[in-house]
Structure 1
């Protein structure tokens, strides 16, 4: 788990390069940082961000064991985790899995048409955020 202070430092580094942090995933041996910018990011963008984040991590040294740093684009079929992610996905085809059935289903494919503080509407079905197990854009 990364401290809030380190996450903030990563955001500062990434934003200073002209990118935004889309998501951060941490596992036992891997730190994955997804970056984005209007029009998408290139391999060169990921390499630049990786070098700068690596320098920060060398100073902060947040891991007791060895780890792998991966900097990547969230991709076309990006995961949707935050209200901001869902808001940006309005008008796009999405795939949403729920914890509990809604209208006798736990999987929904369709265009995300609405997003507010409580949830989303996909394919005409209202799903509350706390019932969303996982979601992603489903454009391909």
Structure 2
């Protein structure tokens, strides 16, 4: 199974500094506050030490670190999210985008008309605790 992170979107007000690192193939990209609407990333997720890492700082100095992994038909999201770690069973290879909201949510949205898995839907919503309003 392959999970491919395509784009990472700023909140509508573009108040985040987002740095993304893919440790699978050592690629990094960033988006400064009040700059571009999104990062065009296009990278496969890895597992454990080969995860994709997001470091986010808002214009008020709050920071969050989130790790995303692809592991044996599962998407694993950990870090500064509510609950600390979530494991989602995935129905197959998926391309997806990440959208951050101004009120502290990170939404992972499947592309191409796919759902994440049986009964899950096409979007996964995670609360990024430091940015929760």
Q: Same fold (TM over 0.5)?
A: no
Q: TM-score normalised to the size of structure 1? A: 0.27
Q: TM-score normalised to the size of structure 2? A: 0.28
Q: Which has the higher strand share?
A: 2
Q: Which has the higher helix share?
A: 1
